[in-house]
Amino acid sequence: MILRKDLTVEVRSLEIAYTTLFFAVSCVLFFAFALVKEGKAPEDGAAGILWIAIAFSGTLALGRTFERERQSETLRALLMAPAARPAIYVGKLLSIIALLVAAEVVLVPLVAFLFQVPLLAHPFWLAAVLVTGTIGFAAVGTLFSAMLVRARSRDVLLPVLLYPITVPVIIAGVRATAELLEPDVELALVRFWVALLVALDVVFVTLALWTFEPLMTD
Amino acid sequence: MPKWFMPLAAINALMFAASPFLIANADYEATMGLVQKIFYYHLPSAWIFLISAIVCGIASARYLFRGSPRHDRLAYAAAELTVLFGAIVLVTGPLWARKAWGVWWQWDVRLTASLMGWMVAWAYLLVRRYGGPGSDKLAAGLALFGMANVPFVYVSVNYWRTIHPPTTVVPTLPVDMGAALWFAVACFLLLFFLLLRLRVHLEEQRARLDSLYLSLDE
């Protein structure tokens, strides 16, 4: 229900989608200017930059979605609604994931084009890595940005909280993506990183569901 | 402060004064020689670093679900000690690594996970300090994620093939090395306990002062 509401608002205005996407694209362009020389990118650079762009634009999107709830005081209304707290969390989480996956659909071809790497050689595995990584990142991000709604200086605190915790997710995502870009891909290694990402997703979502209730109660 | 605090602190100081002699008397390790002596301080502080992250996590969980401010003060004190002992680990580790592996730092699983745990503790303190009202619960949620990282640090060396020695090294140490090590562990454990007690005491005084000011205003 919250997923549907968020998506409806988003489709009507497309505010967050456009700003996030524009930010992510300019992020990738900056790195392309800085790193690609004579048509050659540094080794493994593309994987790192793809994930940096996802993490940065994800932070921006997380901040914005909850800022919107705060401005119109709807978060309080949501919390007062006769719905279970975990359901609110899951709805928010799904809408963030949908937003980030939509951004990735644009980012991946862009990175592949600017860094001249065969990102689309293994579409299934790449999708698996991106989706599991995004879930892990968004699971922690949704929890903390929901909690930060009331805090002072929330724009600074969200990255402070989010990045140390999501470091393993980003590392696993970058390593798996870099492995997919190798000329001869070792699928066993990719499978290992995806398994790690799934494990992290399970831990993060469980912890977030468990703590969302006491954290959102005043 | 309780009566036993000062005598215990004196004993602890004596123990720390004695520990260099025990360490100096222990055998030289065959391949690394003198540098290996760092180990006697590196490993105890690493254990305390993990223990203190666990204390912080458990106290935070109890604060979140029961809401008693006593546990919140304990969690705050433990988070500060996590930063302190983490700093010792992260300074002694590279000093040793430079000699043993030839590099200061390696993106090894255990090293990365330890750094991440240390950053989570820093983030905890930053949120407490600058988060404004309601940030204590936010920080408590963060501490749970920090605690989830601890078993990961501990078992990482046994599951991944990494450069860091595994946990099974400790029971196989020769007797005099083991004695020096366990003495150092006792030193650090007592120090941790004393500092924790002192820090909690300080927070208790602060809380009492706050409530006194409040009753004065009324």
Task: Please give the full DSSP string across chain B, using - where no structure is assigned.
Answer: --TTHHHHHHHHHHHHHHHHHHHHHSPPBTTTBGGGGGHHHHHHHHHHHHHHHHHHHHHHHHHHHH--HHHHHHHHHHHHHHHHHHHHHHHHHHHHHHHHTSSS----HHHHHHHHHHHHHHHHHHHHHHS-TTHHHHHHHHHHHHHHHHHHHHHHHHHS--SSPPGGGGGGS-HHHHHHHHHHHHHHHHHHHHHHHHHHHHHHHHHHHHHHHHHHH-
Distance CA A151, CA A154 (A): 6
Closest residue to B141, CB basis, from A143, A156, A157: A143
pLDDT value for B77:
92
Bridge partners for B30 per DSSP: none
Structure token digits, residue B194:
């004393």
**Average confidence (pLDDT) over B127-147:** 81
Q: Which of chain B's residues have a Cβ under 8 Å away from the Cβ of A147?
A: 137-138, 141
pLDDT value for A102:
86
Secondary structure (H, E, C), A18-62: HHHHHHHHHHHHHHHHHHCECCECCCCHHHHHHHHHHHHHHHHHH
Q: What is the DSSP string of A128-181?
A: HHHHHHHHHHHHHHHHHHHHHTTSTTHHHHHHHHHHHHHHHHHHHHHHHHHHHT
CB pairs under 8 A between A and B: 72
Closest residue to B141, CB basis, from A152, A156, A211: A211
Query: Is some CB atom of chain B closer than 8 A to the CB atom of A200?
Result: no
Q: Which of chain B's residues have a Cβ under 8 Å away from the Cβ of A215?
A: 64, 137-138, 140-141
Say whether A160 and B127 touch across the interface (CB within 8 A).
yes
pLDDT digits (tens, 9 = 90+) for B77-102: 999 999 999 999 999 888 888 877 77
The chain B residue lying nearest A209, using CA atoms, is B141
Counting every residue, how long is chain B?
Answer: 218
Structure token digits, residue A59:
């932070």
Say whether A165 and B145 touch across the interface (CB within 8 A).
yes
Residues 89-148 of A with CB under 8 A from B: 140, 143-144, 147-148
In chain A, domain spans: 2-216
Tell me which residue range forms the domain holding B62: 38-217
Q: Which of chain A's residues have a Cβ under 8 Å away from the Cβ of B148?
A: 203, 207
The chain B residue lying nearest A215, using CA atoms, is B137
Mean pLDDT computed over every residue of chain B: 84
pLDDT value for A6:
65
Structure token digits, residue B171:
């029971």
Counting every residue, how long is chain A?
Answer: 218
B17 in a structural domain: no
Q: What is the ipTM of this complex?
A: 0.71
Cα angle A180, A54, A96 (rounded to 5 degrees) comes to: 120
Closest residue to A161, CB basis, from B112, B127, B152: B127
B132 in a structural domain: yes
Query: Is some CB atom of chain B closer than 8 A to the CB atom of A39?
Result: no
Q: Which residue has the tokens 């949501």?
A: A78
Q: Which of B125, B135, B127, B130 is nearest to B87 (CA)?
A: B125
Q: Fill in the DSSP letter of residue A182.
A: S
**Average confidence (pLDDT) over B108-128:** 87
Structure token digits, residue B83:
């930063």
pLDDT value for B17:
84
**Torsion (CA) B110, B116, B121, B122 in degrees, nearest 10:** 130
Here the contacts of B7-11 (C-beta below 8 Å, separation 24 or greater) are B8/B190, B8/B194, B9/B194, B11/B190
pLDDT value for B52:
93
B58 in a structural domain: yes
Residues 6+ apart with CB under 8 A from B161: none
Query: Is some CB atom of chain B closer than 8 A to the CB atom of A209?
Result: no
Q: Which of A203, A213, A144 is nearest to A169 (CA)?
A: A203
B84 in a structural domain: yes
pTM, 2 dp: 0.80
Exposure string (b/e) for A169-195, b if CB count within 10 Å is 16 or more?
bbbbbbbbbbbbbeeeeeeeebeebbe
Distance CA A1, CA A84 (A): 12
pLDDT value for B56:
92
Cβ neighbours, 10 Å, residue B212: 10
B49 in a structural domain: yes
Are the CB atoms for B117 and B49 separated by under 8 Å? yes
pLDDT value for B81:
93
pLDDT digits (tens, 9 = 90+) for B151-209: 888 877 666 666 677 766 777 777 777 788 888 888 899 999 999 999 999 988 988 89
Distance CA A134, CA A121 (A): 20
pLDDT value for A83:
64
Give chain B's domain count. Answer: 1
Say whether B137 and A143 touch across the interface (CB within 8 A).
no
Helices A187-216 and A123-148 cross at an angle (nearest 10°) of 20
- In terms of C-beta density within 10 A (0-12 exposed, 13-18 middle, 19 or more buried), how is residue A167 classed? middle
Residues 6+ apart with CB under 8 A from A129: A173, A176, A177, A180, A190, A193, A194, A197
Helices B69-100 and B109-130 cross at an angle (nearest 10°) of 140
In the predicted model, residues of chain A with pLDDT beneath 50 are none
B182 in a structural domain: yes
Distance CA B163, CA B161 (A): 7
pLDDT at B59 over 60: yes
